[in-house]
Amino acid sequence: VITAPLITEDGRPIKDPLVLLEATSNQNTSEGASTSNHNGIEVDESAERITDKQIIEWKLTLHQIGLDVLRTDRTMVFYENKENLSKLWDILAVYAWIDKDVGYCQGMSDLCSPMIVLLNDEADAFWCFEKLMRRLRGNFRCTDQSVGVANQLQHLASIIQVLDPKLHDHLGINF
């Protein structure tokens, strides 16, 4: 389970993820530096970061999954076993890899957790989660026009406004 950042926001690797101070000082000392690759050819590090954008995003996704896995259902005895935490992490990481449009979003771990608890087999839990996400993926999708569940909240606000205008006014719903 990855819980400490492996890279800085600009894509530089952190040698010791648990010592974030070191990463900050390394970032400041190596600005604009160029290095030689294994063939002795000079490579501009900033050019590598641009071409490795997908790798950086993937590592940040894995980091977020790791953080959320540790927060999911922490009071359950089931998750005292590190293997069960690992199952949750594996399922979320594989799903994020195969559904690149949605990737991983906070809240997915809460949807996946009951499947791991109820189904002992990791593969079965994955396919149940994948099937659930086919129906719910719109809630996790962010576009330029909307943020996932915002559309549903707008519809709910419209329904409340028609059915119970007093409640709508009391809640001050403005989407």
In the chain, beta strands by DSSP E: 34-36, 42-44
- Given a cut of 60, whether residue 91 has pLDDT beyond it is yes
What is the assigned CATH class of domain 20-140?
A: mainly alpha
Q: What is the pLDDT of residues 1-27, one digit of tens each?
A: 555 566 666 767 666 554 444 334 444
Q: What is the pLDDT of residues 54-80, one digit of tens each?
A: 788 888 889 999 999 999 998 999 999
- CATH code 1.10.8.270 region(s) in the chain: 20-140
CA distance 129 to 98: 13
Q: Which residue has the higher pLDDT, 148 or 87?
A: 87
CA distance 139 to 105: 10
Q: Give mean pLDDT, residues 145-156.
A: 68
- Given a cut of 80, whether residue 89 has pLDDT beyond it is yes
CA distance 11 to 52: 8
Predicted pLDDT of residue 127:
96
CA of 167: how far to CAs of 113, 150, 159, 175, in Å? 34, 19, 11, 15
Q: What is the pTM of this model?
A: 0.59
Predicted pLDDT of residue 120:
81
